[in-house]
Amino acid sequence: MVKFQRTVMLESREARPLGIFFGTVFCVYLAINGYMFVRLYFTLSGFTILRAVSCVTLALFAVSFPAARLLSGRAPQPLINAASFMSALYISPMLYGFLLTLAADTLRLINNVVAITRLPPPYSAKTRLSVVAFVAAASVVITLAGAWNAGNPVILERQVRGGDFSNTADGDFSLRIALLSDIHLGRLTGPGYLEKLVSLVNGASPDIVLILGDTIDSPEFFRDEAKKTEAANLLSSFESTYGTWAVMGNHDYYSGRDDVENFFADTDARLLIDEAETVGGKFVLVGRDDRAGARYGRARESIGDIVFPIMSGGFRYPMIVMDHQPFELEDAADAGALLQVSGHTHRGQLFPINFVVARIYEKSYGLYKKGNTHYYISSGVGVWGVPVRTVGRPEVVILNFGEKAKDN
């Protein structure tokens, strides 16, 4: 009875902030599109047909994002797919169109006061059309560059020194870890992209491969048996000394925990859910359940409770913790972990969202140290919502410990 009460409280506590977050996102989305519609309507005054076509097109794309979410599971799949495709195309041009329109309006207001250009208001039809054309073209160019970036992952090597590597069975600790986070297999990411990741990882010759959650994007992934089978085969293709290990992410829960567990059962990757394993007699690998599990009545265990059966014998192996969301970093430090690896943040994915993300987390990207514990938060290899990345590169991270760490 006590356990039931605890999980209900956790679920409620997690659900309320999530509802507030999505409500806020919708209000901001509505405000941005309302502003852009009004500005487009008045800027194109005098261009009757062009204004009508532009405003209707903008409205259709703007509606596609909420429509895709509202229609999911309630409408024929082709209609849902069409709305999802339109929204995926639209989000990035919308964001950069809004920022550029805002910049143009700011310059216009300043020009009204101090005349910084030789074109005083009211502006000619040619000038107004030129501004609209520039905003539209620049938004599309930025989006195309971000789409190319999102589809071309890179290897990023990082060195970790300064830890206590002496307490292994053989008195030495040297490890080369491949990290992949936020693959998001589904509408926007398929087996073809996963094949690129396999090639990059195997070319780096890691000792172990760690998949840090959000492997699956949404339930739609499980409806295509051919793609699901191909993806499972590819996840079994990673080559390393100690194998491939994975944890749950919030999107894995949204996609259906049972389906995700069954999917991993068909691969050579081991999914750890509040579990710990001694790997190669060298270190303990801890896989924490994701915080999103609380919304589904699952209270995750503390790191201490997870590793107690292994550590209670008195011999302490170096501990590596996999935890999808980089909240409460002190948990790993308090448990005496050598390293925690996380993902989830995408480093914001789209500029300037990265600045907002950086304020949410104690550390939203990169290497970090808290006490004697090292952390790496990855920007991930995949995308969410829109197939565009304008902040950073999609990264397969190679972490080198001990003798594997180079001096450069």
87 and 179 in a single domain? The answer is: no
- Whole-number pLDDT of residue 79: 81
264 and 135 in a single domain? The answer is: no
Domain that residue 283 falls in: 153-404
- Whole-number pLDDT of residue 404: 61
- Whole-number pLDDT of residue 112: 80
Last residue of a domain, one of 124, 148, 172: 148
Last residue of a domain, one of 111, 132, 148: 148
Q: What is the mean pLDDT of each run of 10 residues along the chain (408 residues)?
A: 33 54 84 95 93 95 85 76 84 96 91 73 85 95 96 94 51 84 94 96 97 94 93 97 97 95 96 95 94 89 89 75 96 93 97 95 95 94 94 96 62
Peptide bond into 122 cis (omega under 30): yes
119 and 160 in a single domain? The answer is: no
Q: Which of 352, 334, 347, 362 is CA-nearest to residue 397?
A: 347
What contacts 237, CB < 8 A, 6 or more positions away?
Answer: 198, 202
Asked whether 344 and 214 are in contact (CB, 8 A), the reply is yes
Q: Which of 146, 197, 184, 186 is CA-nearest to residue 393?
A: 146
91 and 212 in a single domain? The answer is: no
Classify residue 352 by its DSSP letter. Answer: T
389 and 248 in a single domain? The answer is: yes
How many independent structural domains does the chain possess? 2
Last residue of a domain, one of 95, 130, 148: 148
What contacts 212, CB < 8 A, 6 or more positions away?
Answer: 179, 180, 181, 182, 246, 247, 249, 322, 324, 341, 342, 343, 378
297 and 378 in a single domain? The answer is: yes
Domain CATH code at residue 201: 3.60.21
175 and 42 in a single domain? The answer is: no
93 and 214 in a single domain? The answer is: no
The model's pLDDT over 385-407, given as tens digits with 9 standing for 90+, comes to 899 999 999 999 999 987 666 65
Length of the chain: 408
196 and 247 in a single domain? The answer is: yes
Q: How far is CA 334 from the centre of its chain?
A: 26
Q: Which of 344, 340, 327 is CA-nearest to residue 382?
A: 344
Q: How far apart are CA 406 and CA 176, in angstroms?
A: 11
Residue with tokens 């952390």: 375
230 and 374 in a single domain? The answer is: yes
Q: Which of 218, 271, 294 is CA-nearest to residue 15?
A: 294
Left if phi > 0, otherwise alpha if psi is -120 to 50, otherwise beta: which for 314? left
253 and 239 in a single domain? The answer is: yes
- Whole-number pLDDT of residue 4: 27
244 and 295 in a single domain? The answer is: yes
- Whole-number pLDDT of residue 184: 97
